[in-house]
Structure 1
Amino acid sequence: MKSFSIPIIALAAILTQGCVSNKKYAELQSANGKLQESNTQLNQRLQASEQDLSGSKIRVKSLEEQLVAERSNLAALQAALNKCLNSSSQGNVNISKLVDEINSSNKYIQQLVNTKNKSDSLNLVLTNNLTRSLSREEMSDVDVKVLKGVVYISLSDNMLYKSGSYEISDKAGVTLSKIAKIIQDYKGYDVLIEGNTDNIPIIKPNIRNNWDLSALRASSVVQSLQTNYGVDPKRLTAGGRGEYNPIAANDTESGKSQNRRTQIIITPKLDQFMDLIGKAPEQSKP
């Protein structure tokens, strides 16, 4: 580090030139003291400046390192952004494909709904036709269901037959005549008459078991439809299922009563089925 010593040299030069007065010497001493003090201050300021310069260099280096790090981060962020944009572009393609698939699925679901609505309309047409002439009392002994275009009419044995017999009762004639009218309205339909019993064994002369009883009851209905109401026998089939097609448990009287039934199954051929679809009423829009 440099020091400032010029005032001392100047004083020595003056002293070599000759003696001076005490007053002059005191003045020179005072000036020298001031110069020494100024020199000390300048040296202190120099040291402080050099320290500040060293600190500034350190801060500059630190800032340069931060700048390099930030540039590296910026490059990484740009790369991530580019990757995200590329992925987003691919994602848009996938989303568009997914939307197309969803729309296609919704269209198919709507077709199924429309088909079901039309099928429900067909079932409503058939049910209304079959029950339009039945009284409330008759409906208590008649159960009508339409499933997939096939009509199931279930008649209780109390309404159809004499007690413990396969002979048609007098009161059944009115109901059978109304059902025969519906059967005649759809001449191309096949008609299966199916007898069913509970699980209580039959004890009657000439009736061996419930198979016999169910088949005889179905045969009685077939013959009544043919003989009394003019239904073409070529369309009719009589069958017995005995106790082996129950719709309720046989451990209660109510269940046994439900199982003792004769079912009339009216099945349209394909061309009649398609005609009915065309006649089905339009569904009201929500």
Structure 2
Amino acid sequence: MKKVLLFSLATILLLSSCVSKKQFTDLQAKQKETQDLLNSATVKLNSCLEERATSTARATALEEQVADLRKANDNLTVLSSKGASNIEKTLESIKEKDLKITRLQDALNQKDSITLAIVTSLKREVGINDPDIEINVEKGVVFISIADKLLFQSGSYNVTTRAKEVLAKVAKVVNSKPDFECMVEGHTDSVPYQSGVLLDNWDLSVKRSTSIIRVLQGLGVNPKQLIAAGRADYVPLVDNDTAENRATNRRTRIVVLPKIDQFYDMVEKEMKNLSAQN
């Protein structure tokens, strides 16, 4: 630009020596116009250079942001993939737990349904109007409690004729449920046993249980379903302080229940599986 300026001045001087005043004035005006254009161009150039520097810095910053976003996106993709995998695993675990809970509930419902069916059958067959026969459910198990006066003579373990009629009705229900077990549980009062070949009330309670089991077996009940048990006088219903109370405590209880390996094991297994996953 300095060369252009010097050239312009040299031209003016040269022309001033050989041109008219008017021409000289015109040349000065053009020179001023040229100078103004040059100054304007210089300002614009400097402005463009500043804008370029700003744009370059901004572009660099944007490139860095893009690089950071790409890196974050890659990390997000990995996290999203892991998150999706974890969500799928969680859903699968929930589905498995729901399935186990459903199976557990089905087992319990099935057991409850069967228990109700047993009670209904027994009440229909045995009869619920006899005060010496009680049929109830305790903790999901069916109990038939029969007073001793229906089953045995005092101090005896020989089953009476009337008892065989009652046991025939019980046998009918048990025979209709071949997958059930039937435990016969003998109970005595607290008066010591002192006659015959038996030693004590333990012997008497168990002997009465086996006597009833033989009757049930003779009525067609599969002996594999039968369990003999005696409790002597150690599980009384009331105090043995009156003749009436002692008569209440002398009883035989028949427990009818599904086989444990079919229901209780299933329930226990499902409960353990649920506990292990929590």
1:59 CA drift (Å): 0.9
The Cα shift of 1:264 comes to 1.9
Aligned to 1:279: none
| CA separation of 1:221 and 1:266: change in aligned 2, threshold 3 A | same
Give deviations 1:186-216, integer Å, cap 9, x for gaps: 3688754435589xxx578969xxxx66875
Equivalent positions of 1:250-261 (< 5 A) are: 260=249
Work out whether 1:13 is the aligned partner of 2:34.
no
Whole-angstrom CA distance in 2 between matches of 1:86 and 1:226? 74
Distance (Å, rounded) in 2 between the aligned partners of 1:225 and 1:90: 65
Cα distance between partner residues in 2 of 1:61 and 1:265: 97
Tell me the number of residue pairs that the alignment of Structure 1 and Structure 2 aligns: 235
Please report the RMSD computed on the Cα atoms of aligned residues, expressed in angstroms. 5.8
Which of 38, 44, 57 is the matching residue for 1:46? 38
Structure 2 match to 1:182: 170
1:140 and 1:37 mapped to 2: Cα distance?
140
71 and 221 in structure 1: CA distance in 2 versus 1, 3 angstrom threshold: closer
Q: Partner of 1:155 in structure 2?
A: 145
Superposed, 1:1-286 pairs within 5 Å as 2=5, 5=9, 9=13, 13=17, 28=21, 32=25, 42-82=34-74, 84-85=76-77, 110-138=102-130, 142-145=134-137, 152-155=142-145, 177-183=165-171, 185-186=173-174, 191-195=182-186, 202=190, 237=228, 239-243=230-234, 245=235, 260=249, 262-266=252-256
CA–CA distance in structure 2, aligned partners of residues 57 and 180 of structure 1: 115
What's the % identity of the aligned pairs? 19
Q: Structure 2 unaligned runs (5+)?
A: 240-244, 264-278
Q: Give the aligned residue type for 1:13.
A: S
The two structures have a TM-score, normalised by structure 1, of 0.50
Amino acid corresponding to residue 264 of structure 1 in structure 2: I
Q: 1-side partners of 2:64 and 2:238: how far apart?
A: 82
Structure 1's 83 and 140: CA in aligned 2 closer, same or farther, altered over 3 A?
A: farther
* Runs of at least 5 residues in structure 1 that lack an aligned partner in the other structure: 18-27, 251-255, 275-286
| Aligned partners of 2:202 and 2:232 also within 8 Å | yes
Residue 253 of structure 2 aligns to a residue whose secondary structure is: strand
Q: Residues 134 and 175 of structure 1 are in contact (CA less than 8 Å); yes or no, is this contact kept in structure 2?
A: no
Q: Are the equivalent residues in 1 in contact too, given 2:201–2:232 (CA < 8 A)?
A: no
Give 3-state SS (helix, strand or coil) of 2:17's partner. Answer: helix
- Paired residue secondary structure (1:71): helix
The offset of 1:116, in angstroms, is 4.0
Q: TM-score, normalization: structure 2?
A: 0.51
* Structure 1: distance between partners of 2:229 and 2:73: 79
